Every structure is written in C-alpha cells, then in structure tokens.
Amino acid sequence: ARPDITLRVATDPTATAGAAIAGKSGGDDVPDHMPDLEDIAPLYDAKSENTALKRYKSDYVFSLSKNKQYWNKRATDLITWDNYPFDESSCDGIMTGGFEYGDVAWFPGAKLNVCSNAIDRHVQNGKANDIAMIWEGDEPDQVLKFTYADMLRKVSEIANALKSQGVRKGDVVTIYMPMIPQLPMTMLACMRLGAVHSVVFAGFSSEALSSRIAASKSSVVVTADVGMRGGKTIPLKKIVDDAIGKHACKDIVKKVLVYERERSIVPDGNIATDGNAKCSGNTPQINWFPDRDVNMNDILPKQRPYCPPESMDAEDASFILYTSGSTGQPKGLVHTTGGYALYAAHTIQTTFDLQPNDIFACVADCGWITGHTYVVYGPLLSGGTTVIFESTPMYPDAGRYWDMVQRHKITLFYTAPTAVRSLIRFGDDIPKKYDLSSLRILGSVGEPINPAAWSWYYHAVGEGKCTIVDTYWQTETGGHIITNIPGVTPMKPGSCTLPLYGIDCIVLDPMTGKIIEGNDVEGVLAIRRPWPGMARTCLDDHERYLATYFRPYKGYYFTGDAVRRDKDGYYFITGRVDDVLNVSGHRIGTAEVESALVKHPSVAQAAVVGRPHVIKGEAIVAFATLTESNTEEDDELVKELRTLVRGEIGPFAAPDIICITPLLPMTRSGKIMRRVLRKISAGEADQLGDVSTLADPSVVDTLIALVGRYD
Ligand code: WT7
C-alpha cells in the first residue's frame, strides 16, 4: 500500500532545470531503461505526479541531446559572468576537449569571480541584510550570524590580509582549520584573489598534512591555535608546526597565518549573536616563530574592508582537494572556477530546491568535498543561508542535530548514513522532543543508505513528510550526479535513483568494458560525456588522472563504483571496485594504511581490507606479518601499530582490527589475494571461491582462526 503522505516540498515540478528552457523539451526519445511511474514500487512520493516524472525524462533527454544549449542556459541563469562570449546560437565553444586526453574545458574564455558571485552580487541585489551564514559552535550557545554585507567586509579583510602576506593570484594556500566562521571566509578570500585553496581536513595528522603541503608547494598555511570538537581541544597550530618541521616540507612554507579561535568567535560590532556566544578569553599557549608566523587577529583590524575581486578565466584552477585512490599517495584533484561554481549552484538548486529563504544545514566539515560544494559554494552562490556546524551529532547529547534544527528553523538538512545509524540506537524519543516542522528535505551522502536507516530518517526525523534525497557523487564529480529530485523522482530506499540532467550514466561490463543495456543488470558505473563540475586533472600528475579515470574503460569516465540498475531503471551503488574503503563516509585507501603499517620495524608485510560494520558502513581490518618469527598476539605491538596509523594518516584511519599473522594469502606469483582476506574478515569463509592459485592453502584455516577471535 502506498503511504499517505503530504509533501512539504515546495518544488513546482514544472520549474525544474530543463523545463526552464521554455518549450524545448526533448520529445519522446526517452531511454528504454527509464521507468514509468505506475511501474515503481514501493512508492514514497504519492504527490509526485506522473507528469513530473515524464517531464524529468524529456528534460533529461533534452539535456543530453542539446547538451551545450542546456549548459548555456544554466550558466546564464545561475552565474553572473564578467564576460560571457557565448549565446544560444553560438554555443559550440562552450565545451572543448574530451575524455581521451582529459583536456576538457567548459566556458573557456568566459570570466567570473566565484567569491563575488557568492557574496557581492547578493549585496548588490538588495540582499545585503539577509543572513548568509549561521555559525553554530561546539557549544550549542555559541552562535553567530553573518549577513551578506558582513561577509563582504570580513572576506575582504581576510583577502587583504592574505595579500599583505604575499598571496597572489595562482598561489596555493593550504588551509588547516577548525569549523569556525573564518574557515569558509578564508576559502572565499582565496577565491576572491584567484589564489588556489587546498583545504586539509583538520583530522589529518601532521604527516598527512606535511605531504599535502609539499605536494602542492604551498608557501602559505592558514590555521588556528586550536579547534574544539565535542568539548575536546585539538592543538592545530602544533600539528602545523610538526608538519612544517618534517623533511618533505623543508624550505616550502614561508608564512603561517594563525587565527586565535577564542578571539575569532567574539561577536564584534555588528555581528548578530543568538544566546550568549561564550568566549573564555583564555587563549591557549602556542609556539610562535616570529619570522614565519603571523597572528591573523592582530592584522585583520588593519585591513581595508573591501577588496576588489580578480576576474578569472572559467578554466582557472579554483581549488585542490586531496582524496584517496588505490595507491599510497593521495591525489590532488583540481577543480575550476566557472564549471565548478555553475555545477555547485545547479545541483543544490535542483536536488535541494534551495531558495533564498531556506536555512540549509550540511553538517559536513569544509575539509571534504561535501563541505566545499554544499556548506560553502552551493548555498552562497544561490543566495541562501548556510549553517556552519563545528560540533558532532553526539555533543552534548544525541539530540544535537534536532536541537539545532529547532533553534535555527532549518529547512534543508544534509548528513551521512553513518551519522543516522549512530543516532538510531538512542531511539525515536530523541527527535520527538524537538519541533522539526521546519524541515522539508533531508539529504544523505557518502555511502548507500541502508533501508533501516532510511526508514528512521524518513519517519522519526522527517515525520513522513520530507523527501529524502540520496545523493550519489564523488570528490571528482564536484557535485551530485545521481540523485532523486524532490517532487519529481519517486523515492526508493537505498537507491540514489536516476541521473541528474546532463549526466550520461552508463553501466559497463567490468571485464569487456561493453555497455550493458536494459534493466535488472549489474556492472561498473561510468559516465559517457563531460559535465561542468568534473575535476580537470590531478595536480602535477595528469598521467595519473588519465590512468585512474579514463584508461580503464576507453571513452568513459570510470567512477570506481559497482552498480545495479534494477527493473525500474533505478541505480543502486553496491560498493567500490578499487582498493578504496568507505569508513563512516571517509574515503580511505587501503594502500595508505598499508604503507603506514610497514613503517613499523617489526612489520614485514601488511594487507588491509574492509568488512561490513553496522554503524561505520565499513570497518578497517589489517593483517600484518612480522620481520621476526614472533607471531604471538602482542597487545603492545598492536597498540603501537594503531598509534602509527593515527600518526601517519589520522585517527579516523586507525584499523578496527589488527591481526598479526604468520602468513598472508599469496598467489604463487607473490600477489596478496585480498579477496580471500575480505571474505574471511566478513565471516564468509564458505564463499572463498577459487583458491587453487594460493601458494599455501593452509593459510585459510590459520586466518579463519585468527579473525574468529574478534567475532
Ligand atoms: C564515494 C566518493 C561525495 C561526497 C562524499 C564522498 C561513495 C558517495 C554515495 C551515495 C552510495 C555513495 C561512492 C563514491 N558514495 N555518495 N549516495 N550512495 N555511495 O565523497 O570521499 O569522494 O567518496 O563515496 O563509493 O565513489 P568521496
């Protein structure tokens, strides 16, 4: 039976992106595998008219068949360009290049500044006093509200401060900061100057930070004395000092710009505050290196509060973001200004129906792509209000998200399935205590949302009235690529549903690379044509970019994910096919954890796999052989290894289980058979498959016994 639900969604289905191109729907040439509404069950969107889905399908077809006209229309609707050399009749040059050489360019020659699109134009368009940003500090009573006019002043001051320290267009600025208002403001200040930001998540260790600073040859690092999360103090400046002291960073960093957290969150002058923004005034002691370190709170008051924005080419780099792949070295993906900004605004307005009066809370950290696109750029480019959340879902208790929704009247809320799962065990009574009636759309990102978590999110949080958008995308894609659209695409728990406009998704046979047509099929997920938000290269390693994304399946962008397209044409992501783990929504390369483990003098060889975990999605299981023949379970050593991984990568990458083993499952040619480790770790030793190539088959029983100890 169909649930009887009243949608709170305000979307006018006919106002979707493609439909805005008046009277130019694509006709009936809809791919066979797309569903008709009557066919879809279970159906969670009773109000969604079949006409809306029909409209989606014809818009989708239009967005592909008239791809350049489609993006021309979106680009002129959503972005204010300094110079835009295309129009509807001459939009051939809107996109050049392709997947073969990875020389894709969108809107080449067009000019814009992303920061002035995110701030100035709203100030100029009568929205100076609208709230751009609500900062919710670690303590629930630490709240600051910044209008668009405040943002223009503050971001300008920071931009001028950066300039005074030598930052110029094209320079790379590493940002290692807590989620205080100055984090997004510093990102925007870089954008204003045309400097390329490289935000490193403040949970990464000094080792990981130092390799990212070195790889991007970033001579300026912006940080804070400390960060606060869940009542705990994190000594960020000290970690930066350690990172810069490492050999890899020798002679690279010239300036470290330091915010004092306490001074930075004082509600100065005009900045509005809710409750009583607390400030202890106790600034922790940190080391200062006078030739290198600059106190931002001292130099900001001296800056002129207006800074002219640099006009950038649409294809200039806007930021670098490091992410994990199948080798030990994280890759620095490079995003653009024009295509990225357009894609951020386009997707948030399509997927979340974001309107200027919405209060949008994406609770991700700015250190990940989700924070870039949906905490900072998407909401501000759209003139909305974005919430910057410094704390955790559990602090001070498991009601924190809902308390925040109630206090700020949040309308759109976006989190990861792992957070939802961690809250379920505290029961329905927790969300029930709060007034959640302001919510209209709930988002999920980072991994497939299992039906139990979906159902809790839908009923206990959304009270059966909100659309859940299951947004599938990657650091590389810049923004959502497969997701349902509220009021348009009927939902199916666990499915990210159908591709967004302009995204030409295909399913490939992993072995032959041939396109698999039709429904009720499985394969690997690929994309057949460029889209504006895609990353353009790996920093200083274009070869790796080509090898990772475009060579595995010639002519296509390869996502690295396996997928099932069900009988209705709905996509279900079934997991990575490369050696990348997804632990609590964090992407971790098994090779990175392995290279950390083998740094220990006692470890000869290490192999890392994931195994299903009820809350984290995946847990990290590490196997290690030792240099000496001591194979006894050694608690001290296991502790040391865990500490080692925390120090090399960060606490979030520490293995859940470390098995010291006399041997690993090797083939006769000396390759580790990870499949065997994965199956044994998952308790599926009965499904090992063909193990005839194992050099020593007795390893299987040894490993089963070892892993058994942890069940
Ligand atoms: C990988 C990308 C993009 C934001 C956060 C993660 C997995 C992401 C979903 C989803 C199933 C998902 C994929 C993807 N993933 N969203 N809605 N359903 N899987 O970004 O760190 O670049 O990781 O996360 O495996 O490839 P990322």
Count Cα neighbours of 409 within 13 Å in the Cβ-side half-sphere: 3
- Nearest CA-CA partner of 79 in 341, 317, 336, 348: 341
Q: How far apart are the first and last CA of the chain?
A: 39
**pLDDT at 10 (0 to 100):** 31
Beta bridge partners of 525: 507
Q: pLDDT per residue over 176-227, tens digit each?
A: 999 999 999 999 999 999 999 999 999 999 999 999 999 999 999 999 999 9
Whether 447 lines ligand 1, by a CB cut-off of 6 Å, is: yes
Tokens found for residue 32: 């066979």
Work out the pLDDT band at 487, boundaries 50, 70, 90: confident
The residue contributing the CA closest to ligand 1 atom 24 is 446
Measured from the CB, is residue 370 less than 6 Å from ligand 1? yes
DSSP for 573-610? Answer: EEEESSSEEEETTEEEEHHHHHHHHTTSTTEEEEEEEE
Are 530 and 555 spatial neighbours (Cβ–Cβ below 8 Å)? no
Average pLDDT score, the chain: 91
Report the length, in residues, of the chain: 711
Check pLDDT > 90 for residue 267.
no
Beta strands 580-583; 586-589: pairing state = antiparallel
Give the tens place of pLDDT for each residue, 304-361.
999 999 999 999 999 999 999 888 888 999 999 999 999 999 999 999 999 989 999 9
Q: How far is CA 519 from the centre of its chain?
A: 29
Q: How confident is the model at residue 48 (pLDDT cuts 50, 70, 90)?
A: low
**Any ligand 1 atom below 6 A from CB of 466:** no
Listed in sequence order, the DSSP H helices in 337-490 are 338-351, 369-371, 378-381, 400-408, 417-424, 429-432, 451-456
Percentage, residues of the chain above pLDDT 90: 82
Task: Answer whether residue 9 shows pLDDT above 50.
Answer: no
C-beta of residue 489 within 8 angstroms of C-beta of residue 497 = yes
For atom 27 of ligand 1, the residue with the nearest CA is: 474
Confidence label for 411 from pLDDT (cuts 50, 70 and 90): very high
What mean pLDDT comes out for the span 436-458?
Answer: 96
pLDDT tens-digit map of 14-38: 333 333 333 333 344 666 677 665 5
The residue assigned the tokens 């460029």 is: 530
Q: Does residue 277 or residue 599 have the better pLDDT?
A: 599
Please report, to the nearest 10 degrees, the dihedral formed by the alpha carbons of residues 428, 432, 433, 434 taken in order: 130
DSSP tag of 646: H
Task: Specify whether the CB–CB gap between 380 and 132 falls below 8 A.
Answer: yes
Residue 704 phi/psi, 5-degree rounding, is: -60, -40
Q: Is the CB of 471 under 6 A from ligand 1?
A: yes
Indicate if ligand 1 lies below 6 Å from the C-beta of 584. no
Nearest alpha carbon to residue 404 among 275, 278, 227? 275
206 SS3 class: helix
| pLDDT-based confidence at residue 253 (cuts at 50, 70, 90) | very high
3-state SS of 293-312 is EEEHHHHHHHCCCCCCCCCE
Distance of alpha carbon 58 from alpha carbon 72, whole angstroms: 18
Nearest alpha-carbon partner for 527 in 4, 67, 13: 67
Residue 275 burial (CB < 10 Å; 0-12/13-18/19+)?
exposed
Packing angle of the helix pair 590-597, 635-648 (nearest 10 deg) = 120
Q: Please state the pTM of the whole predicted model.
A: 0.92
Amino acid in the structure at residue 154: K
Q: If you measure from the C-alpha of residue 597 to the centroid of ligand 1, how many angstroms do you get, rounded to a whole number?
A: 26
- Point out the ligand 1 atom lying closest to the alpha carbon of residue 586: 21
Percent of the chain at pLDDT exceeding 70: 91
CA of 6 to the centre of ligand 1 (A): 30
pLDDT higher than threshold 70 for residue 499: yes
Ligand 1 pocket check for 473: Cβ under 6 Å: yes
The answer to whether the CB of 582 is under 6 A from ligand 1 is yes
Q: Which residues pair with 145 in a beta bridge?
A: 134, 272
Cα 553 to ligand 1 centroid, rounded to whole Å: 20
pLDDT at 528: 97
Query: Which residue in 189, 188, 119, 191 sits closest to 149, CA to CA?
Result: 119
Mapped onto helix, strand or coil, the DSSP state of residue 75 is helix
For residue 205, which of 580, 599, 608 has the smallest C-alpha distance?
599
The CA radius of gyration of the chain, in Å to the nearest whole number, is 25
Residue 256 β-bridge partners: 221, 293
Helix count and strand count (H, E) for the chain: 22, 31
Mean pLDDT of 586-592: 94
Report d(CA 416, CA 446) in Å as an integer.
6
Query: In Å, what is the CA distance from 47 to each residue of 3, 37, 354, 490, 660?
Result: 11, 12, 20, 9, 56
Work out which ligand 1 atom sits closest to the CA atom of 324.
Answer: 21
Distance 474 CA to ligand 1 centre (A): 5
How many CB atoms lie under 10 A from the CB of residue 400? 21
Contact 211, 234 (CB under 8 A): no
Is the minimum distance from the CB of 377 to ligand 1 under 6 angstroms?
Answer: no
Half-sphere exposure of 135 (CA within 13 A, CB side): 28
pLDDT value for 51? 75
Do 259 and 296 meet the contact criterion of CB atoms below 8 Å apart?
yes
Atom of ligand 1 nearest to the CA of 482: 17
Q: Does residue 479 have its Cβ closer than 6 Å to ligand 1?
A: no
Distance between CA atoms of 464 and 454, rounded to whole angstroms?
11
> Ligand 1 pocket: which of 472, 496, 549, 565 to mutate (most atoms <8 Å of CB)?
472
**Cβ of residue 472 lying under 6 Å from some atom of ligand 1:** yes
